[in-house]
Amino acid sequence: MHIIPKITDISLLCLFSSLAAFGHEAESPLPFERPHSHESVEGHAHLGWESNYFSEGRDSLDGDSLMAGSFELGWEHLAGGVWFGTSPDQDYDELQLTLALTQSFGDFEFYGGYTHLRFPSDGSHDNEIGAGFAWSGLPMDVELSADVYYSFNADGYFAEISASREFTITDHLALNLSVPFGINQGYVTDGHDGANYVALRLGLEYALSDSVSITAHGSRSFALSRDAALPGDVQLIDFNHWGVGLEWSF
């Protein structure tokens, strides 16, 4: 488990939409957008501000905000990226380096990857492996995704399942609605195992050009089966969080 669990989503739209150590969509609690297969080299960069650091259903910085930036590249079945987050309100920094392999079969996309995490503020580090899939063949354009990531330091894993739907409002504006559900199994070592949270998320993306977009998101997270006597569940609360960002794709 991280000294302080990672974001969400968030946070940014990054290299894994659900692999918590790796990912996001228009709003997700992970630092990287889900990796895809690309015929040519494609890149993505994001700079954003989060009102809270959402991670594993927890308000990980006790209400303090997070600034985060990411840079990702994808080519054929290989994707990689770097993410860095820092809090302007307290002494907290986090660096993530990620590498993933991807594969697609019809409406299904699969990935597996590795993330190295470093926490410069206290000199600690962790290594994680993760895997997940997304299925876009459901009725009404609903997408179902599932991700699981394992921490070597904690010797435990966290799983997330999410249903999402994207709506095109105008030629420049898109809206994403999602409902993620998280399960802890030893990843948050001093928290309870089992269902941890469910959330309602709304993300907006406004295209300024073919390659540059402004993003915004708002979420409401609900704690499940919280045990206040456990240190790892103290930050597992019902709370609202939101963020804004600027994205560049090339």
Per-residue confidence at 17, pLDDT binned at 50, 70, 90?
A: very low
Place of tokens 């700079």: 47
Per-residue confidence at 35, pLDDT binned at 50, 70, 90?
A: low
pLDDT tens digits along 218-237: 999 999 999 999 999 999 99
Tell which residue, 3, 51, 56, has the closest CA to residue 195: 56
Tell which residue, 247, 181, 186, 185, has the closest CA to residue 217: 247
Q: What is the pLDDT of residue 31?
A: 58
pLDDT cut 90: percent of the chain above it = 79
The DSSP letter of residue 170 is: S
Q: What is the pLDDT of residue 41?
A: 87
- The CB density around residue 132, as the number of other CB atoms within 10 Å, is 28
CA distance 120 to 83: 13
Mean pLDDT for all residues in the chain: 87
CA distance 177 to 214: 17
Q: Which domains does the chain have, with CATH numbers?
A: 38-249 (2.40.160.40)
Asked if the model's pLDDT at residue 25 lies above 60, the reply is no
Q: What is the pLDDT of residue 12?
A: 30
C-alpha torsion 184→189→190→193, nearest 10 = 30
Asked if the model's pLDDT at residue 19 lies above 50, the reply is no
pLDDT tens digits along 172-217: 999 999 999 999 999 999 999 999 999 999 999 999 999 999 999 9
Q: CA–CA distance from 174 to each of 162, 217, 248 (Å)?
A: 19, 12, 16
Q: Which residue has the higher pLDDT, 31 or 222?
A: 222
Q: Determine the average pLDDT of the residues in 125-151.
A: 95
| Residue 12, beta-bridge partner list | none
Per-residue confidence at 30, pLDDT binned at 50, 70, 90?
A: low
DSSP, collapsed to helix, strand or coil, labels residue 7 as: coil
Q: What is the pLDDT of residue 76?
A: 87
User: Are residues 183 and 196 in contact, defined by beta-carbon separation less than 8 angstroms?
Assistant: yes
CA distance 85 to 216: 17
The answer to which of 11-15, 41-45, 156-160, 182-186 has the lowest mean pLDDT is 11-15
CA distance 20 to 9: 8
Amino acid at 5: P
Q: What is the pLDDT of residue 39?
A: 66
Q: CA–CA distance from 38 to each of 34, 43, 125, 183, 247 (Å)?
A: 12, 10, 31, 31, 19
Amino acid at 176: N
Q: Determine the average pLDDT of the residues in 26-46.
A: 65
Tell which residue, 196, 202, 228, has the closest CA to residue 215: 202
CA distance 190 to 3: 11
Q: For 59-114, give the DSSP string.
A: ETTTT--EEEEEEEEEEETEEEEEEEEE-SSSS-EEEEEEEEEEEEETTEEEEEEE
Asked if the model's pLDDT at residue 59 lies above 70, the reply is yes
Helix intervals (H) in the chain:
none
